[in-house]
Amino acid sequence: MTSVVERLSGGSPVFSVEFFPPRDAADETVLWRAIRELEALDPAFVSITYGAGGSSRDRTIRTTGRVVQETTLVPMAHLTAVDHSVAELRNVIGWYAAVGVRNILAVRGDPPGDPNGEWVPHPDGLTYAEELVRLCRELGDFCVGVSAFPYGHPRSADLDEDTRYLVRKLRAGADFAIAQLFLDVDDFLRLRDRVRAVGCDTPLLPGLMPLTTPRTLAKTVELSGAPLPPAVARRLEPLAGDAAAFREAGVDLVTEMGERLLAEGVPALHFYTFNRSKATREVVGRLGLVPARA
């Protein structure tokens, strides 16, 4: 099993993709079609999400185990501290190790039901992501990632405070961080600059979502936690009634973002896929991130 850091250190930029565990048999068919289509492109790793409050824990473990056993892909499983005691977290980490997972994304997670609700730690659990990073480190030879927020976490008072919390997570033992969605490359680069300014050079990966429909644009804006940039609005909103034109312009825009990020020296681009592969395959192909044999 290869670690994420090993996959990022090859000298050439790479890409990774994120999936969420299937809710039913139909979802599973869609997911595995996307996995097989992307497998041929040799992504650096594939990420499997973990629902709020552990709502998809068993499906995440099962899906990640199948990726280990049935594909050539490098999986990274998610882990959250929401509604879990330390004993339960130890158990989940042990399950990951047992199915052959070496890479974990350790996030505190959002309160179930209301992502913006008040955080209430489990009485026998953890309060901060940095504690979860340390727990993963204590329990095995894991490569551990954390999340980063170009616009600051919703519960951070300002960007300086948010940067301090991110650096604490990184220095607790994280090997890399993946940024939440953004639509202005400068916002990601400023995040990277803030982290570097305090002497931390841990790899920071930008997160992108191909903008194929007005719905994906709205979801990207929602997940970013920032307003829609005026330049993006001027480019895409007039096309909302023309599905083909919107998709073409949206894929062009994300490709241009990827080009600039690669020019700025990022080691990898992380794509949120909605368990679909076509648009991601188009973008990585345009960016030259697809191996010749694919």
Residue located via tokens 């594939």: 46
Q: What are phi and psi of 103, to 5 degrees?
A: -115, 130
Concerning whether 18 is annotated as a catalytic residue, the answer is: yes
H or E element at residue 15: strand 14-19
3-class SS string, 53-69: HHCCHHHHHHHHHHHHH
What is the C-alpha separation between 114 and 117, in angstroms, rounded? 5
Collapse the DSSP code of 151 into the 3-class scheme (helix H, G, I; strand E, B; otherwise coil) and give the result: coil
What is the C-alpha separation between 273 and 275, in angstroms, rounded? 5
Residue located via tokens 């009634």: 241
H or E element at residue 230: helix 230-236
* CA distances from residue 167 to 135, 172, 270 in whole angstroms, order as listed: 17, 8, 20
Q: Are residues 104 and 140 in contact, defined by beta-carbon separation less than 8 angstroms?
A: no
Q: Exactly one of 6, 18, 237, 256 is catalytic; which is it?
A: 18
Alpha carbon 39 to its chain's center: 18
What is the C-alpha separation between 125 and 107, in angstroms, rounded? 13
Residues annotated as catalytic (active site), given as ranges: 18
